[in-house]
Structures are given as structure tokens and as C-alpha cells.
Amino acid sequence: MPDYRRNRVPGGTYFFTVNLLERSSTLLVSQVDALREAVRKVRAARPFHIDAWVVLPDHMHAIWTLPPGDADYSARWKAIKIAFAKTVPKIEHRSPVRADKGERGIWQRRFWEHTIRNEQDYAAHVDYVLNPIKHGLVACVRDWPYSSFHRYVARGVYAPDWAGQGVDDLPAGERGVR
């Protein structure tokens, strides 16, 4: 069995990529309200700060900061995946292995995690999260509705016509490294 090693920094800031099992699916955007509700439920039970998030058709990127003394992001992702799966009709194909384990065929089992090291690392990852242009989904960042980019614009951190340039000039408090 593989030995997956996770870096766990209590109160740390992390970048994540979480994928659907079927990479040609559009489930995350077609069921975005169910995903939002799953995240709300999990945050109510196990708080975390959402620094940035983009939901794409078949995967999502997020940056979270956990509370001081807490490094358990894995339990939060597991709970989000379960809560979301409970709301989606059971129409997906399941492998015999998943069926035997009683698992849905919605999510990839693992996710990518990266511990944010410093403000420059944070800035680069926020730019990555907030930029759906690289996925060929929109011509302008502001045109993608499933992104925390709009929250950054409302706070005056990004200009509405931002096109993927750096956030190095963000005030330190806006960079999320805590």
C-alpha cells in the first residue's frame, strides 16, 4: 500500500487541488450549490479560512488557512466530499472495488496538497487559483462565476480587468500567510 506523506503545520496555510474521478465531468459547476452547502456544513463543524477558491467543471483549487493548533485538513476534505456526494444522484459508474467498499464514483480518492511557505509562495498560488483563463474556460478572469476572485475585486485587492498578473503588491494581511 502506498505511503502518502502529508505535511501538517498546525494553523498553516495550504494550497489544494481536488479532482473528480471522471475528468470529463462538469458535475462541480452543475452542482455548485450543493458543493457550497457541503463546504458551509463542514466549516460550521470544523472551521477554516478560505483564502481563495476556484471551482472548475471537473476539479477545484483552494487555499485554506487552518485555526491555530489545527492541521487536520484531510478530515475536512473527506467531510466535504461525503456531504457533496450525499446530495448528488447515484448515476455515476462505479468500479467493482468501489462498489464492494460502498464508495461513490465521484471523487478521486487523493488530493494534492502544498504547504504555503512564505508570502511569495502564497502570492503565486493565489494567482494560480484565481486564474481560470489557463483552463480555456473564459477570456477574462471576471467572467468565471465560481471563483473567489470576485471577493478580491470587491475588497479592492484586484482590478476587475486583472488578467493573471502577480499579487506581490498585496498588503501582507491580504496574502494570507499567518
Clarify whether 146 is annotated catalytic.
Answer: yes
Q: What is the 3-state secondary structure (H, E, C) of 98-122?
A: HHHHCCCCCECCCCEEEECCCHHHH
Q: Are 130 and 54 in contact (CB under 8 A)?
A: yes
Q: Are 13 and 65 in contact (CB under 8 A)?
A: yes
- Record the cell numbers describing residue 112, joined without a space: 494534492
Match 458543493 to its residue by C-alpha cell: 35
- Record the cell numbers describing residue 124, joined without a space: 503565486
Element containing residue 125 per DSSP (H, E): helix 119-129
Q: Which of 14, 122, 146, 152 is catalytic?
A: 146
CA distance 17 to 19: 7
Name the residues annotated as catalytic: 146
